[in-house]
Amino acid sequence: MQRVQRESRAYKLFRIVFLLFFIAVFLLPIWWMIKTSIILRVDTVVYPPQYIPKGIEFDGYIRIWKDQGLPFLYFNTIRINILAALLALLLGVPAAYAASRYDFWGKEGGFMFTILSTRFLPPATALVPLYFLYRWLGLVDSIWGLVIAYAGLNLPIVVWVMRSFIDEIPRAMEESYMLDGHSRVAAFFKIIMPLSAPGIAAMFMICNFLTWGEFLLSAVLTTTVPHQTLPIGAAQLEGDIGILWQQIAAIGVLGAIPITLIIVFFQRYLVRGFSFGILK
């Protein structure tokens, strides 16, 4: 008995140390970012680095607010990502429904594969043609241009995940609803949509997560501050006068807040969404 207790105490200690180590590994970069954004500007480049700040200033935040057009960048990032996620869901959920419920020629081999294959190559390979297409359509340097591009990035994932999600909803349920006297469109909105809501919420979160820090498309397709996103704003702080670590870190801190909130709010749907729990 005594021995068992001693072993479990040792195990407990080991577990705490182990977990503290991991917490440190994961929190250190975040601490580093926060710290860099508030220490004195001269201290951002001193050697050896300061782990605990000796002095504090909020110059970085003030400068990005005043000089870098932060309100634009901030607002753009939030609305572009949210709109792109909504657009991907708006197009993707009905497509997933069709892929789940209808048989059409070339569905598995052609349609579903083609959708997924758009993610086989890195977006960089399509950048030049995309730019010319956007210029022709007048979408360069516009909010909607990026919304469409991001929605395009996320659409394949939405279609594939939501398709397997809808596959789990018994056909009999919507068939029954149609026999009650409702149209198929009504069955989609009243049966399929509510029952796949956890999946939709989870995909909304994942879409935001995937495009939040996107740089390449944003860098090429936007040219002026009123249409740019936070990653571009951060990149422009590597300039002639050196790398403005303080301001980059400040953008990092502010940029992390909305996506963290989105994840915290929607993560409970992530587990439910992927375990398809509602019907079982």
Chain positions contacting another protein, by CB under 8 A: 103, 170, 172-173, 175-183, 186, 191, 194-195, 278-279
Q: Shortest distance, CB of residue 280 to another protein, whole angstroms? A: 10
Give the Cα-Cα-Cα angle 105, 150, 132 (nearest 5 degrees). Answer: 90
Q: Shortest distance, CB of residue 115 to another protein, whole angstroms? A: 22
Count of Cβ atoms closer than 10 Å to residue 110 Cβ: 11
Q: Shortest distance, CB of residue 270 to another protein, whole angstroms? A: 19
Residue closer to another protein, measured from CB, 196 or 247: 196
The DSSP 8-state label assigned to residue 39 in this structure reads B
In whole angstroms, what is the distance from residue 69 CA to residue 243 CA? 18
Q: Shortest distance, CB of residue 167 to another protein, whole angstroms? A: 16
Residue closer to another protein, measured from CB, 202 or 254: 202
Residue closer to another protein, measured from CB, 133 or 179: 179
- For residue 227, give Cα distances in angstroms to 71, 78, 144, 213, 230: 11, 12, 9, 15, 10
Residue closer to another protein, measured from CB, 80 or 202: 202
Residue closer to another protein, measured from CB, 186 or 220: 186
Specify which residues 243 forms β-bridges with.
238
- For residue 251, give Cα distances in angstroms to 70, 185, 196: 8, 44, 35
Q: Shortest distance, CB of residue 185 to another protein, whole angstroms? A: 11
Tokens of 224: 């002026």
